[in-house]
Structure 1
Amino acid sequence: MPESFPSGRALNGVCVLVTRPRDQAENLARLIEQEGGEAVRFPVIEIAEPEDDRALPAIIDRLDEFTTAIFVSPNAVDRAMDLIRARRGAWPPGLRVACLGRGSARALKNFGIENAIVPRDRFDSEALLELPELRQVAGNRIVIFRGAGGRELLGDTLTERGAQIEYAECYRRLRPRADVTSLVRRGERGEIHIVSVTSVDGLRNLFHMLGPAGQPWLLRTPLVTVSRRIAEVCRELGFKTKARIAAPASDESILDAIKTWRAAQKSL
């Protein structure tokens, strides 16, 4: 039978690798630590300014031309909305807003936008495209706020439905330079019990950052993620166990998935 733990100690003795970007990791790390676990912070994505610092302001200056604005991530919200406030003072009235997930919706609320269109269950481009608000878009002008080099599915599908699409690149995702020696040693000793990854780019970065020395233990280690797409990439990379998917995509759901995994283990 799985072990049982008192409230607040469900992760006692569990070491979780937290791979969120540095400025987004603390909430999840704190939740893990409140349950008695150890959160090893190892950012696998660095958020940087876009290479072209003129393109985003140019789009923001003509936001009134668009019917709908879509934000693909909290980073896109924060970076775009800060600039919108600086250049325009307020969000254009009548401009409809959509986003991929609850994290982005919460970020939008911080800027006073509370009526965003957001999927209820899955939080990805496919789920957003299934919503009725984005099915009949012929003739609409839609701006997609995203990171450089993001997925094309959203824009391509909306174009096929007759919308005119423009991309507003708010940031770049970089692979950090980091000394992985200590992490690889801990992984080899079995001291990293489960890994949390919240994006495909982050998963691939982690895999490449660890290199041949760290990849064998990584592929043996349980992993919790937030989408089926990331889980599919886990299979492609050769993970030995099926990735657990936290739904909805939130820190609290990731914590619950880790606790559920721990409750099923006889020992670490």
Structure 2
Amino acid sequence: MSTALAGMNILVTRPAHQAGELAAKVRLAGGNPVLFPVLEIRDTNNLGPLLDIIARLDEFDFAIFISPNAVEKAMTRINAIRPFPPSLTAVAVGQGTRNALGHFGIDKVIVPSARFDSEALLELRELREVTGKRFVIFRGDSGRELLGETLLKRGATVTYVECYRRVKPEADTAPLLRTAASGKLDAIIMTSSEGLRNLCEMVGAAGQPCLKRVSLFVSHERIAQTARTLGFTRVILTAPGDRGLLEGISNYLRVQATGKDSFSSRQ
């Protein structure tokens, strides 16, 4: 990758255990990643339902993993107890989740090829005709119901299982706010609507104005809508994944440097 982000301070907001790869890519592009996790991933409070599902995995046809965190938490427990059934088809919402499954030796995975969300997953041929099929959905402590509700309407049976919790971290926001207030924060990368709301709560009403003036890069329209609702004024929608986010930042900064104003905030 080039030095397209040379000298730029880029706020990386992923959970601490997941920020390293994106931060490394920012450095490779010449930028300076500013690590400020806005989500913390913890084990579920009640392991009982997860352990029960693990014991009954052979009863299901499809296992849908909503996120890399779902893979990490569920597969760690599964591998400690039993093999992943060869008859069980793994389904991932995005490429990051697919890669996480690969780390556990699961290489045959159904995954969308372009957009990475429930809508894209439901468009796949394998999930259109599912009458009588049995699905288990591994996810966090809350989430959208669209996927499960649609599968039910298509004649499938659906079981949700919580395998982790998302909580708002405790953090010292003073260094971040000093950087933003001095105009030295060049971009914010945000990959979660919940995380964006957490960021606003963490910095408080007094700290929000300086952050809302910083260019905010998101890879999904749903996050962009949340950002606009919260009052962020420079929201740039990029292609999915780390590559899409970094290319979006690079393209935006390049256009800004040329003095042009034709760059769209809805790529």
Shared fold per TM-score greater than 0.5: yes
Structure showing greater relative contact order (alpha-carbon pairs closer than 8 Å, 6 or more residues apart): 1
SS of match in other structure, 2:14: coil
- Unaligned residue ranges in structure 1 (runs of 5+): 1-6
Amino acid at match of 1:180: T
Identity %: 49
Aligned to 2:26: 32
- Does the 8 Å contact 2:218/2:235 carry over to 1? no
Once the two structures are superposed, residues 245-267 of structure 1 have per-residue CA deviations (whole angstroms, 9 ceiling, x without a partner) of 2x232x22222111111111228
1:82 equivalent in alignment to 2:73: no
Determine which of 249, 253, 257 is the counterpart of 2:248: 257
- Partner SS for 2:137: strand
Runs (4+) of structure 1 exceeding 3 A deviation are none
Q: Displacement of 1:166 after TM fit?
A: 0.7
Count of residues in Structure 1 that have an aligned counterpart in Structure 2: 259
Unaligned residue ranges in structure 2 (runs of 5+): 260-267
Does the 8 A contact of 1:234 with 1:243 survive in 2?
A: no
| C-alpha distance in 2 between matches for 1:217 and 1:244 | 20
User: 1:11-57: per-residue Cα shift (whole Å, max 9, x none)?
Assistant: 11211000000011011111111222111000000000101121111
2:146: which partner in 1?
Answer: 153
Distance 1:58 1:160 in 2: 25
TM-score (norm 1): 0.93
8 Å Cα contact 1:184-1:213 kept in structure 2: no
Q: Structure 1 residue 214: deviation in Å? A: 1.6
**RMSD of aligned Cα (Å):** 1.5
- Provide the residue aligned with 1:10 in structure 2: 4
Contact conserved, 1:198 with 1:225, CA < 8 A, in 2? yes
Equivalent in the alignment of 1:100? 93
Aligned to 1:59: 53
Of 133-142 and 66-75, deviating more is 133-142
1:9 partner amino acid:
T
Please state if 1:195 is matched with 2:195: no
Q: 1:217 aligns with which of 210, 213, 232?
A: 210
1:248 has 2:225 as partner: no
The one-letter code of the counterpart of 1:264 is V
1:179 lines up with 2:169 in the alignment: no
Alignment match, 1:3: none
Does structure 1 residue 234 correspond to structure 2 residue 239? no
SS at match of 1:91: coil
Give the Cα–Cα distance (whole angstroms) in 1 for the partners of residues 169 and 257 of structure 2. 36
Tell me, yes or no, if structure 1 residue 43 matches structure 2 residue 37: yes
Amino acid corresponding to residue 24 of structure 2 in structure 1:
R
Q: How many angstroms apart in 2 are the aligned matches of 1:152 and 1:210?
A: 30
2:174, 2:227 → 1: CA distance? 23
Contact 2:10/2:32 (CA < 8 Å) preserved in 1? yes
Code of the residue aligned with 2:139 in structure 1: it is R
Query: What corresponds to 1:22 in structure 2?
Result: 16
* TM-score, length of structure 2 as denominator length: 0.93
Q: Distance in 2 between matches of 1:240 and 1:248?
A: 21
Counterpart contact for 1:64–1:95, Cα < 8 Å: yes
Deviation for aligned residue 1:72: 0.5
Q: Does 1:124 align with 2:137?
A: no
